[in-house]
Amino acid sequence: MSRSRAARWSTLLALPALLACAYVAAQGKPATWSGIGRAATQDELRAWDIDVRPDFKGLPAGSGSVARGQDIWEAKCASCHGVFGESNEVFPPVIGGTTKKDMQSGRVEALAKGTESQRSTMMKLSTLSTLWDYIHRAMPWNNPRTLSADEVYAVTAYILNLADVLPADFTLSDANIRSVQAMLPNRNGKSTAHGLWLPTGRPDVRNTACMRNCADSPRVASSLPDHARGSHGNLHEQTRNLGAARGQKTGPQRSEDNPAGEFAAVKSLTARSACLGCHGLDRKLVGPGFSQVAEKYRSSERAETYLAQKIRDGGAGVWGDIPMPASAGLNEADALLLARWILKGTPE
């Protein structure tokens, strides 16, 4: 039997077992299958089952004030998203583009008219549960799942205060969150009038098949404009390293060869420590661009050991007040390699 047929057979054979497991789970009885793991414990289920739905099902009880949220924001969020949620560096701005008028209509005018050059989180947000849930599960980006429920309430309230939805003396809680939902600028902005969710809807494309005088080749309608190519370093190296789909090379192209493979390990080291989340190769993000660092230490003899130490231990004060966290898990040789790579101009 060929491998793929064997695989198909094993899938077919596994199916009744899976159905039986689902049946047992639905009956609430412990699974008795041996050799295929064990039933999840209640604690494991609780840790996994954290989603908050648009009707607020799943939302834990709690509360947090705008003032407390401001402290959390400034300590744990502002370094990436900007003091007022306006930063465009790590992600499109969280705040901006909404008006008091939008709060009345529930539909962000700038979105409908396309008058803003980009879309902030607050412009798009139609369900408050999504903001709460996302912060709770994914933020701060470098330390997700570390905020308590009360802290998530607080920082959510602060974001809404920055967006002029909530007053500064507000305390957001599970008891009043529905009334705040009713104030969201884009609460009516989500459409279901297309075939994506409703079986009766029409698809949201309106193309008709071309039958004559058709173009020889398709024209790509969306592309990265030249002025934006270098703005976040080389995307190719950052996010598309799985499977066959490679990101387009952006940013300045480097010609230096690396024949000895001296820096072969750099890519996995920078990925593991998320260096490029905070540093552009040629541009300041949260921390200085690596080319700026190379420039600054060009004539310093001890730069390599100094930078290696700093990369391992973190610290602040050289480029500004924002600290670099310590990079746990980098040994001395790794850190020296990274320092050398930066000082040599980040060769590919």
**Omega into 140 within 30° of 0, i.e. cis?**
yes
How many Å apart are CA 95 and CA 73, to the nearest integer?
A: 13
From the CB of 8, what's the least distance to ligand HEC, in Å?
Answer: 35
How many Å apart are CA 81 and CA 235, to the nearest integer?
A: 20
From the CB of 334, what's the least distance to ligand HEC, in Å?
Answer: 8
The CB-nearest residue to ligand HEC is 287
From the CB of 307, what's the least distance to ligand HEC, in Å?
Answer: 4
Nearer to ligand HEC, 39 or 141 (CB): 141
From the CB of 160, what's the least distance to ligand HEC, in Å?
Answer: 11
How many Å apart are CA 222 and CA 299, to the nearest integer?
A: 44
Identity of residue 188? N
From the CB of 343, what's the least distance to ligand HEC, in Å?
Answer: 9
How many Å apart are CA 190 and CA 319, to the nearest integer?
A: 42
How many Å apart are CA 310 and CA 324, to the nearest integer?
A: 9
Q: Which of 52, 53, 70, 69 is nearest to 153 (CA)?
A: 69
Nearer to ligand HEC, 52 or 80 (CB): 80
Tokens of 221: 């309608």
Nearer to ligand HEC, 64 or 287 (CB): 287
Tokens of 122: 């607050």
Nearer to ligand HEC, 103 or 276 (CB): 276
Tokens of 195: 């075939």
Task: State the sign of the Cα–Cα–Cα–Cα dihedral 120, 123, 128, 129.
Answer: negative
Judged on CB neighbours under 10 Å (0-12, 13-18, 19+), 311 is: buried
Nearer to ligand HEC, 81 or 283 (CB): 81
Chain residues that interact with ligand HEC, rule: CB under 6 A: 72, 76-77, 79-81, 90-91, 94, 121, 131, 134-135, 139-142, 147, 155, 270, 273-275, 277-279, 286-288, 293, 307, 310-311, 315-320, 322, 324-325, 327, 330, 338, 342
Nearer to ligand HEC, 56 or 297 (CB): 297
From the CB of 220, what's the least distance to ligand HEC, in Å?
Answer: 23
From the CB of 348, what's the least distance to ligand HEC, in Å?
Answer: 16
From the CB of 183, what's the least distance to ligand HEC, in Å?
Answer: 17
Q: Which residues contact 299 (CB under 8 A, 6 or more apart)?
A: none
Tokens of 49: 């089952």
Nearer to ligand HEC, 103 or 341 (CB): 341
Nearer to ligand HEC, 14 or 326 (CB): 326
Q: Which residues contact 295 (CB under 8 A, 6 or more apart)?
A: none
Contact 283/233 with Cβ under 8 angstroms? yes
Tokens of 56: 């607020």
User: Where do we find the tokens 């305390």?
Assistant: 171
Distance (Å) of CA 126 to CA 98, 118, 173: 12, 17, 18
Nearer to ligand HEC, 31 or 309 (CB): 309
From the CB of 339, what's the least distance to ligand HEC, in Å?
Answer: 6
